Structures are given as C-alpha cells and as structure tokens.
Amino acid sequence: MGRKSLYLLIAGVFVAYYIYIPLPDNLEEPGRMMWVNTYMKTFAHLATFIELLGLHHFMETFMIFMSFDEAPPTSDENVTVTETQFNNIPVRVYVPKKKSEALRRGLFYIHGGGWCLGSAALRAYDLQSRWTAERLDAVVVSTNYRLAPKYHFPIQFEDVYNALQWFLRKEVLAKYGVNPERIGISGDSAGGNLAAAVTQQLVDDPDVKTKLKIQVLIYPALQPLDFDLPSYRENSHFPILSKSLMVRFWSEYFTTNRSLEKAMLSSQHIPVEYSHLFKFVNWSSLLPEKFAKGHVYNNPIYGSPELARKYPGFLDVRAAPLLADDSKLRGLPLTYVITCQYDVLRDDGVMYVTRLQNAGVRVTHNHIEDGFHGAFSILDFKISSRIMNQYIIWLRENL
C-alpha cells in the first residue's frame, strides 16, 4: 500500500469515526440522523473553541450560525405574514387569505431553543406556522422573546406572558378576526416549558378575561430538579440534545455562572430545605411501568443552599411547571402532550401527563416510539411531517 493510500485510509477511518453513532433499530432515517448530528456537532465544537478563546459565548456563536437559516416574513398565495409587536414583544402573525364567514381559531406559538437560541423567523418555525394557519384556517401568532445569555429568567417568561396577554385583548382578537372561545397555546422544548408556565399563570390572572381552550406541549422541558430520570440515563448521549447540553441550557436560563451547571450535572444543586419539591418530580411514582422498567430510583443528593439563594429561579414554578401543586393544575385546559422515546426530556412530559390526569385535567398523550428531540421542528426528517399531521388533526378536532 502506497503512502498516499495509507493517508487516505487513515483519513477515512477518522471521518467514519466522527460521523458514525450507534442508533436504535426503529429509527426511520439513521443515515440522515448521522449527518444532522455531524453538522450540529461540528458547529458545537467550533462554538466551544471560540468560547475557549474568549471571543464569544457558546450560545451567541450558535445563534449566529442559526441566523443564516431565517426566513423573511413573506406572504404567499395562501397566508398573509406580517411582523409586528405585541406589548413591545416582536411577533409574526400568520392570517389565511381565504375569506371566512365565521371568526377563526387562534393559536399562540412559542419556539424552542433552550431559552438561548431560536426565533420565530427560523425556516422550520416559519413553515410550520404557515402550514398551521392554512390547514387549520387559524390565525397563528409566533412570538419571540429575549434570550440567554444576555437575559435570564424571568425575562423569557415575562416576555411571552406579556405578548400573550396582548393577543388575548378583546380589540386585538377583533382586529385579527379570532374567536375568543377558540384560542390555544403551543410550544416545543423550551417553548413547551414557557407554554405550560404561562398557561398556569393565566388561570390565576383575574385581569385576563379571555382564557385558553387548549394547550399543546411538544417534548417540553418542565423541571431542573432531577437529571437522573430514566430518559436522561437512556438518552444521555443521543444526537441533537444530550444530557450535558440540556443541563447547560437550564443553567444558562438562570445564570452564566458555570458553577450552577456543574452542580446540576452532579445533581447537587437542590438544598435540603427544598426536599419537599421532589414529590412533584418523583419518577418512581409518576412514570408508567413501560418508562420506569429496569431503572432504580436514587434518593436525591442535597447540596449547598448558596446556589438556591443566588439563583432562586430554578425552584420557581414559572420556570419549572412540574412544581405546581394540584390545586393549580386542576384549572388547566384540555391538553395535548407529545413525547419522544429517544429524548432526555421524555419523562418530563410523561410525568406531567400523569400529574394532569391525577388532577382531573383531560389529556391526550401522543408518545412517538421512534421519535427524538427535534422530530417536530427539524423538517429534514420524514417523521416531522407525520407528527405535524397528527398535531393538525388534534387541533382541528379540539380547538
């Protein structure tokens, strides 16, 4: 074998090692998953390197990369798209062009991205909002909100809540021709977190007269107390959203101080005086057997109260909707929860389904056995259109 051939062989081995990852047998497009993972992993490595050089924060670099995938607010033959502000929060509004004799449904959508990334302008969210508006004959409001690391909790929550309150005003609904009795909220990942949190807040807000008919939570992040759930154990290194990346997102939501991230990774961030909160996220009692099977519950390891004093947000129900007590859950609207088998956040959603059902809330749980985090919003995968169709059908029947 010549030297050139040897070099090519070595290079090929390294490329294959970098690209290849073991994947479950029931994953529909393993090759595409490997390429998407390689793409994201490469950008993550580059963002990490830039951060180590002290040039940019990891999330800021990633946001720059993502901005190249944004779509302009261009209307098409079916939907009118406009950018405006609801209570000083930038939003995109999608209105079907075909005339409607009756008032339309309204859907308030919140994008994901770990409270650090993303926008309503991203190509995937723009396309999904167009499809939803057209196929559901609904007015879709896709909201932005300020992001970490520049802004921390509760800014993201407050931005979304303020935009939602504005949308629910009588004169705003009348302007867009929305039926005040047919309004829903939806969000994926961190957007699912914010959707759950503002829906809980709305129940107790006497100043908001128009209430939500439904909420849709798509693989939502709902608690930062326990990162030792079966879904975190099983999917800790799964593509797109690993355990370490999800923990970083959670910690960045509250602070750029990496000591919180370190404590979260070792499950030593909850002080003993907050031990009572674990009853709301105890997976040994909240997960059905199919999700808990083969796993043993580990009792919490309590840490110093210093982090909780500095960053109390991670113990706040507005950041962790699973911490809501049953009295708050009882007033919630009809709920649709999508979870994916290969997702660290799977058990957050499953536990919320259990808690909502125990509180008497009507819930539809759509668990995607071959699904993964991002399956709804990464349109390159065939599974995305399947989940989107199920989502539209449920909305059409219930909103």
Q: Give the catalytic positions in this structure.
A: 189, 343, 373
106: tokens are 């309204």
- Cα angle 74, 78, 81; round to 5: 30
Count of other CB atoms within 10 angstroms of residue 185: 29
User: To 10 degrees, what angle do helices 30-52 and 58-67 make?
Assistant: 130
State phi, psi for 23 to the nearest 5 degrees. -130, 155
Cβ(140)–Cβ(84) under 8 Å?
no
Long-range contacts of 93-99 (CB under 8 A, 24+ apart): 93/139, 93/140, 93/141, 93/142, 93/176, 94/129, 94/130, 94/132, 94/133, 94/139, 94/140, 94/141, 94/142, 95/133, 95/139, 95/176, 95/177, 96/133, 96/134, 96/137, 96/138, 96/139, 98/137
Instruction: Say how far apart CA 353 and CA 234 lie, in whole Å.
Output: 20
**C-alpha distance from residue 113 to each of 16, 96, 193, 326, 374 (Å):** 29, 27, 11, 28, 10
Closest Cα to residue 138, out of 112, 177, 165, 168?
A: 177
Closest Cα to residue 196, out of 125, 112, 100, 71?
A: 112
Closest Cα to residue 254, out of 308, 196, 197?
A: 308
Sheet holding 79-86, edge to edge: 79-86, 89-96, 138-143, 104-110, 178-188, 214-218, 334-342, 363-372
The 8-class DSSP code of residue 256 comes to: S
**C-alpha distance from residue 161 to each of 108, 136, 202, 252 (Å):** 11, 24, 8, 20
